[in-house]
Amino acid sequence: MAIHVLLNTKGGVGKSTLSWHVMPALFTKLGKSFKIFEIDNNNVTNVFHQSTIIKDNTQTVKTSDKNIAAEIIFQTMTSNDEIITDAGGGDDALKVIEIVKSIGEAKINWFIPLNRNLAQLKNALNTYEQINDPQNTYFILNGYTSLEDITDEFLFYFGNTNMNIEGIRDQLKIQREFAIPFSNYFEIAEMQNLTIADLAKISQELTKEEAKALFFEKFKDDKQAFFRAWCDYKNSEDAAQVLEQIFTDFLPFFDNGTQTEPIRAKLHKRGTL
């Protein structure tokens, strides 16, 4: 088990996508238990209250709570839970770095989500410098639309010699990053107060033929209800495909710590770089 810290001094970069959608799905897939600590002075995430994936696995605290570090330490000593720490933005993020570092000897992974915006990339760089743990810090490229075009989409991260732009990846000598595709299914799940893993669950548990038979038996006298159930099933299939795309990049690392190929290496193999 490890402590996985998701933070960026800027909000709106995908911390919630990673800490509430992606990581719980990963650990559920691997059969690992987890606990989410939301450390935020301004917000309490309650949009996922219908989720069975994260039910009873969350705790929200403020950075002023003097017992946060002790809570996390106690959790690591009394369970095999993977600890997900979701930090608020701004000063909250800096305080969380201080809190986690005060824990003492522990396996800590730092994840910094970012999008393609240059100003927010500068916040990610500031966060990286504040963490000051290069060997255990990973950038999350959040919301790419095409893996083949990801170096153009995240231009200021990867850089471009033809445009005389040096990316922070080369400046910092970053060896590994993860990527999360853009998908409306994160928000579709949230509209139902679920995580994307909850949304994907029905198609993972029922084959298409089983779903058709079940829905017809249940709603044969209500065509509109049948239509709604079938639409939910199709959404579930699409959500499951998004997760499979994410799992390809993340699972080896979270399963056994294997460093899968950097994105640039993958693209070179495909002949797109």
Sign of the alpha-carbon torsion through 186, 189, 194, 200: negative
Question: What is the spatial distance between Cα 162 and Cα 273, in angstroms, rounded to a whole number?
Answer: 13
**pTM metric for this prediction:** 0.90
Q: What is the pLDDT of residue 138?
A: 94
For residue 141, the model assigns a pLDDT of 94
Q: How does DSSP assign 8-75, residue by residue?
A: -SSSSSSHHIIIIIIHHHHHHHTT--EEEEEE-SS----TTTT-SSSTT-EEEE-TT-TTHHHHHHHH
Q: Is 113 helix (H, G, I), strand (E, B) or coil?
A: strand
Per-residue pLDDT, 11: 74
DSSP symbol at 261? P
> What pLDDT was estimated at residue 260?
59
Q: Which residues of the chain have pLDDT under 50?
A: none
Which pLDDT value is given to residue 112?
94
Q: What angle do CA 231, 232, 234 make, to 5 degrees?
A: 65
What phi and psi values does residue 6 have, to the nearest 5 degrees? -105, 115
Q: Which residues of 186-209 are buried (b: 16+ CB within 10 A; e: fewer)?
A: beebbeeebbbbbbbbbbeebeee
pLDDT number for residue 235: 96
Query: pLDDT value at position 193?
Result: 95
- pLDDT computed for residue 256 by the predictor: 73
Give the list of residues 6+ apart from residue 256 with CB closer than 8 angstroms, or none: none
DSSP assignment of 141-167: EEEES-GGGHHHHTHHHHEEGGGTEE-
The CATH number of the structural domain formed by 3-190+240-270 is 3.40.50.300
